[in-house]
Structure 1
Amino acid sequence: MLLSQFRRDDGRIQVVAREGTEAYEVATDASLYDLAMHCANNGLVLKDHVIDLGLNSAVDLAALCDEGRVLPPVLHPDHAHLHVTGTGLTHLGSAATRAEMHSRPAQNETDSMRMFRMGVEGGKPANGGPGVQPEWFYKGNGHSLISPSAPLVRPPFADDAGEEPEIAGIYVIDSKGNPCRVGFALANEFSDHVMERKNYLYLAHSKLRQASVGPELLVGPLPASVEGVSRIRRGQQVIFEKPFLSGEANMSHSIANLEHHHFKYEIFRQPGDVHVHMFGTATLSYADGIAPQDGDLFEIEAPVFGYPLRNSLKVEAAAPATERCEVHVL
């Protein structure tokens, strides 16, 4: 089952369910966050709960996406209680580009390659327990999560504005502090690769950017292998197009291991919070020398996730030279 939500004309959120080609409004006034929390706190299966609620009229989900009315799959009423995070160097083949960005003399192994090798050797523990911890980063809170079809904004201080086609896990924390996975969605983990290349210690800065997730949420297990396509359109031209692979068959870490090392921190197990956690990628247009420009359109698609994730790039104008960030002393 694929779930999504959109903003109705009266301002309220409407949940949509789709199996096959037809999408229908779910017979509820609750948001997906409300449904997920209800299921988490009452031991219910979300898919079964949606079926029990029933369906109303059909909707044209493609048109809603084009109109920009589709929202991220799960939102929190308070942006401060939604966390956008991720892991890197988790996919087979993901180390090559990173190692090149952080290159050292040939006789020395880069920190990136060492981290990747640690994941290959210990990211899928056979005993089912926790394995080696991955690279981890923070992207922001609910303010940084934009809707499918909305533009991704490159701030004036940025050096780059590059896409990262990924899969994200969406989670809510139940009333007892237990993480509950709601489902999986396509994600664009929008990053600044030029800044990161200057020095790998700038990774944290390079990740503090917007991100987009959706438009649809896959409820249930993630297929072992996910095949998709990432492309960039510039006007009528496709300037970049490349397949991407994800799912555990193409990863150096298990999903369970990535989840363990995120939620082992008590700060990420606060009741009622929402987490959008991105699992990494091995495909970047930056590696092919692409420099996205204002107005370019990022497209990320994989059939198992339904409709593609499409976001244009908006380059924010630099502030006037006389204007700067100033701290006021009280």
Structure 2
Amino acid sequence: MRLIQFERKDGTRAVGVVDGDTIQVVQNTETVRRLALDAIAAGRSLTDEVASRGTSGTEDYDTLLADGRVLPPLDHEDPAHCVIAGTGLTHIGSAAARGQMHAKIAGAEADLNDSMRMFKWGVEGGKPEDGKAGVQPEWFYKGDGSIVARPGQGLPMPDFAEDSGEEPEVVGLYVIADDGTPWRVGFAVGNETTDHVTEKKNYLYLAHAKLRFCAYGPELFVGDLPSDLTGHARIIRNGETVWEKSFPTGEDNMCHSLANLEYHHFKYDQFLRPGDVHVQFMGTSVASFGDGIKTEVGDVFEIGIPEFGRPLSNTIVMVPSRQGLKKINAL
């Protein structure tokens, strides 16, 4: 089952089940977050919760997208209660890249840079036995729900940014139950978006480089993550594709298990606040920046994983910093 969230023409919210080009509207349901929390309280799956409510009426999927009324597939009405974070150095990549990576990390650990050392740790300890904690992945914070762009809409790039580069990824979507227990609602395709030029200056700038808008959706994939997935990413400029690449993902192509990534995020008590939403980007294996591509305002990112439904599409737009170089006032 795949779900979307959308706005009706009157501005009210709704949830729908994807049925080809048609959206079957779930009755008495305004948000996926509330749907998930009600399912948890009732002790049933999200699929069963949808079935218990039934559907009534339909919407045309293409029209919703064209009108800009499709929302991210899981969010919080208060953006401050939506945590956007991610993990890096999680993917082995293609078979050829895998061999190159293993060759690079075969030597003494003291000879490796920090990134390769962390990648080696993931290869050696990122998939522990059931019930055990594995090695910690690279982790970073992106922001709260206010930095999420709707599917199909503009992807803001602040005027101080030096780059707006795509990172095609699987995104895990979670809610925190009333007792503080995290629950995985499902998955979506995502564009994590990073300022790679800033990051390349010094890896200690990674935290700055990650504080950028992102996007995920348009659909919520309900169920277990397939172990082997292949997605596509492309950049379209003035109607022409200027860069395109497939990307492998799923646990077969990762050096960390999903359970290990989830454990190391939710082990922190501050991430267990009841009712909160968590959006976790799981890492990428390709990026156009690595192929020498410089993105431009107006470029369209298109990222898709067939199993997750329709692709995610967003256009880079430049936005001024609200603060800029204005002096900070003191009380």
Q: Do they fold alike, i.e. is TM over 0.5?
A: yes
SS of corresponding position for 1:143: helix
Q: Secondary structure at the match of 1:215?
A: coil
Kept after mapping to 2: 8 A contact 1:5/1:71: yes
* CA deviation after TM superposition for structure 1 residue 127, in Å: 4.0
Per-residue Cα deviation, 1:231-275 (whole angstroms, up to 9, x for no partner) = 000012100100011100100000000000000000000101000
Give the share of equivalent positions with the same residue, in percent. 49
Within 5 Å, give how 1:30-109 maps onto structure 2.
30-93=30-93, 108-109=111-112
Secondary structure of 2:18's match? strand
SS of alignment partner, residue 35 of structure 1: helix
Matched to 1:93, the amino acid is: G
- Please report how far the alpha carbon of residue 317 of structure 1 lies from its aligned counterpart in structure 2 after TM superposition: 5.1
The answer to whether structure 1 residue 329 and structure 2 residue 326 are counterparts is no
Are 2:93 and 2:248, in contact at CA under 8 Å, matched by a contact in 1?
A: no
Amino acid at match of 2:57: S
Deviation at 1:20, TM superposition (A): 5.3
Match of 1:101 in 2: none
Shift of 1:62: 2.5
Contact 1:62 1:307 in 2 (8 A): no
Deviation at 1:157, TM superposition (A): 1.1
The answer for the alignment partner of 2:230 in structure 1 is 227
Residue 200 of structure 2: which of 197, 202, 207 is its match? 197
Aligned residue number for residue 292 of structure 1: 295
Match of residue 170 from structure 1: 173
Unpaired segments ≥5 residues, structure 2: 102-109
Corresponding residue for residue 250 of structure 1: 253
Query: Is 2:290 the counterpart of 1:260?
Result: no
Please, which of 134, 137, 140 is the counterpart of residue 137 of structure 1? 140
Equivalents in 2 of 1:212, 1:324: separation in Å? Answer: 27
CA distance in 2, matches of 1:56, 1:81: 30
Deviation at 1:19, TM superposition (A): 4.8
**In 2, Cα distance between the equivalents of 1:261 and 1:195?**
26
Structure 1 237/128 Cα, relative in aligned 2: closer, same or farther at 3 Å? same
For residue 81 of structure 1, what is the amino acid of its counterpart?
A: H
Q: CA RMSD in A?
A: 2.0
Q: Which runs of 4+ in 1 moved over 4 A?
A: 19-22, 94-98, 317-320
Contact 2:29–2:35 (8 Å) recurs in 1:
no
Does the 8 A contact of 2:21 with 2:60 survive in 1? no
TM-score between both structures, scaled by the size of structure 2: 0.92
* Alignment partners' CA distance in 2, 1:319 and 1:274: 26
Aligned-partner Cα distance in 2 for 1:318–1:29 = 36
Secondary structure of the residue that 2:127 maps to in structure 1?
Answer: coil
Task: Note the residue ranges of structure 1 that are not aligned, 5 or more in a row.
Answer: 99-106
Q: Which residue identity is paired with 2:125?
A: G
CA–CA distance in 1 between the matches of 2:229 and 2:273? 31
Distance 1:93 1:109 in 2: 19
Counterparts of 1:272 and 1:319 in 2: how far apart (Å)?
30
**Could you tell me whether the CA contact under 8 Å between 1:156 and 1:319 is conserved in 2?**
no
- Evaluate the alpha carbon distance shift between residue 127 and residue 15 of structure 1 in structure 2; reply closer, same or farther with a 3 A threshold: closer
Change (3 A) 1:220 1:202: same
Cα deviation for residue 326 of structure 1 reads 1.7
Q: How does 1:146-157 map to 2 (within 5 A)?
A: 146-157=149-160
TM-score, with normalisation over the residues of structure 1?
Answer: 0.92
CA contact (8 A) 2:232 2:305 kept: yes
Which amino acid in structure 2 is aligned with residue 297 of structure 1? V
SS at match of 2:48: helix
